[in-house]
A and B are shown apart, each in its own frame.
Chain A
């Protein structure tokens, strides 16, 4: 059972019951038990208003964007560009042409790896990533390095799962073209010191991409203050639709980089001899975009702004601290990733039970968590585990749900002993 001393820990005021009423999925039952959704690092549930906004757009306002002079198209284009402005403001840039819509973080990183690589990475140059990246921020750089005959360098981590910055300093050199690291590790929850990472990279003359898939829903962003060149995010991890996400990129980079996908809408003029490209952001948005999803993303951002990212961060931090204390007290459980700065994620390994058995047995209690390598196999190798079980919290979670998680884990351990 939960330790009463933990239960008395001071908690920030946050009306979670009111929040939960916005998420119909959370009031369902699975196997006759209330849904306890703790897989927010994989994808977040949607508040009713996001789905309703998309429905209203699809049924009353829908038209293509940037391709016609009739009313529905004008209105649709206006809403689409308003959503881009919302994203820009949310990320901290006053210039919405620095926001490119993509299908999500994976595509955003592939875009940068391909386009930046083609223009700026030469044989013998170096790219730096870290040991705790998602495969989406690993494989594109392996591919581009192989293609450009460049060298991939990796920042190691300590046993807590924190980047070893002294080693990073040693990797940086005049050969470093770009540093690509996550803001928050999806496998461990480590919050990386991205501002310091950017400052050091700039001093060495290198560009920086921050994979923000896990940070965007949890941390108030300011890309201009961070001074990074690229910042990526996924809509479905921040209460918006799936299939939409984006990329913040410094204007000068977007102007210098060649397009990634070519076709309609990204051109200025096409003749059979030569094509000139549209200015950013359109240069990087070939084809009809996922219009409805963009509208939904804009609504999700309005929703997050109304609650307030500072309040969200404060409450989620309190949930994470509470969950950490609960799990730390379970004998036979090891938390993987104990960085001093963490967000949302509780990855763990049980001595006696494989993560997939943990996940299946928790599912029988209505609790949804992830088990596996989390698309971060180099991280698993570093921590010498084949996989972990991972609970990840959102502001719609309750302390009581973490109590249930901890109690259920205890039962599983007992069952396997």
Chain B
């Protein structure tokens, strides 16, 4: 087991250990509860979006594996300050990347550091762990009151 593991890179381990924006946004305009029933990952994503559709604040709470926690954490740091349309584009690109349909080394994208999660494509069963936060984010933006489930 190397410390240069393609999936469990240092940045991912670090965000798992110390997740960023791991709190509740008290004056959130949007929120959603997301679960992955298969592994018990369970998160809530909070957003504060202003009238120009800019994400002023974004955070998450909950529990899950390292991949889902680090993905949630990095998603919040990446999206803060972006507008909703940009967030949706990122989700689309992120999803294609972890499913192996987009290669961030070869194709243009807006994922920045999130391309770290490219390693997930070798582990199809873990794609849901990596995308839970993003599905939950979309649920929040679409105001899905019932929450979202990956199953």
Q: Chain A: residues with CB nearer than 8 A to chain B?
A: 353-357, 360-361, 364-365, 371-373, 380, 386-387, 408, 411-412, 415-416
A371 to B41, CA, bound (A): 13
Contact A357 B40 (CB under 8 A): no
Contact A354 B1 (CB under 8 A): no
Would you give the shortest CB distance from A417 to chain B, in whole angstroms?
9
Taking CB atoms, residues of chain B closer than 8 Å to A408 are 1
A416 to B10, CA, bound (A): 10
A364 to B2, CA, bound (A): 10
Contact A364 B1 (CB under 8 A): yes
Would you give the shortest CB distance from B86 to chain A, in whole angstroms?
30
Taking CB atoms, residues of chain A closer than 8 Å to B99 are none
Q: Which of A364, A373, A415 contacts B13 (CB 8 A)?
A: A415
Q: Which of B1, B42, B123, B126 contacts A365 (CB 8 A)?
A: B1
Taking CB atoms, residues of chain A closer than 8 Å to B13 are 415-416
A-binding segment of B53-61, B64-72, B77-85, B133-141: B64-72
Contact B1 A360 (CB under 8 A): no
Taking CB atoms, residues of chain A closer than 8 Å to B126 are 356, 360
Given contacts A354-B65, A412-B1, contact A386 B40 (CB under 8 A): yes
A354 to B63, CA, bound (A): 9
Contact A387 B1 (CB under 8 A): no
Contact B39 A387 (CB under 8 A): yes
Q: Which of B1, B40, B66, B67 contacts A411 (CB 8 A)?
A: B1
Segment 1-55 of B: residues with Cβ below 8 Å from A: 1, 3, 5, 7-8, 13, 16-17, 38-42
Would you give the shortest CB distance from A290 to chain B, in whole angstroms?
28
Whether B74 sits at the interface, judged by CB under 8 Å, is no
Contact A416 B17 (CB under 8 A): yes
Contact A386 B8 (CB under 8 A): no
Whether B129 sits at the interface, judged by CB under 8 Å, is yes
A316 to B129, CA, bound (A): 35
* Nearest B residue to A359, CB-CB: B125
Taking CB atoms, residues of chain A closer than 8 Å to B1 are 361, 364-365, 408, 411-412, 415
Contact A360 B63 (CB under 8 A): no
A336 to B67, CA, bound (A): 23
Taking CB atoms, residues of chain A closer than 8 Å to B123 are 360
Given contacts A361-B8, A373-B40, A416-B66, contact A356 B129 (CB under 8 A): yes
Contact B3 A354 (CB under 8 A): no
* Nearest B residue to A352, CB-CB: B17
Contact B65 A415 (CB under 8 A): no
Taking CB atoms, residues of chain B closer than 8 Å to A354 are 39, 64-66
Taking CB atoms, residues of chain B closer than 8 Å to A373 are 40
Chain A CB within 10 Å, residue with most, of B5, B8, B129: B8
Contact A387 B8 (CB under 8 A): no
Taking CB atoms, residues of chain B closer than 8 Å to A387 are 39-40
Taking CB atoms, residues of chain B closer than 8 Å to A372 are 38-39
A373 to B42, CA, bound (A): 14
* Nearest A residue to B3, CB-CB: A415
Would you give the shortest CB distance from A415 to chain B, in whole angstroms?
7
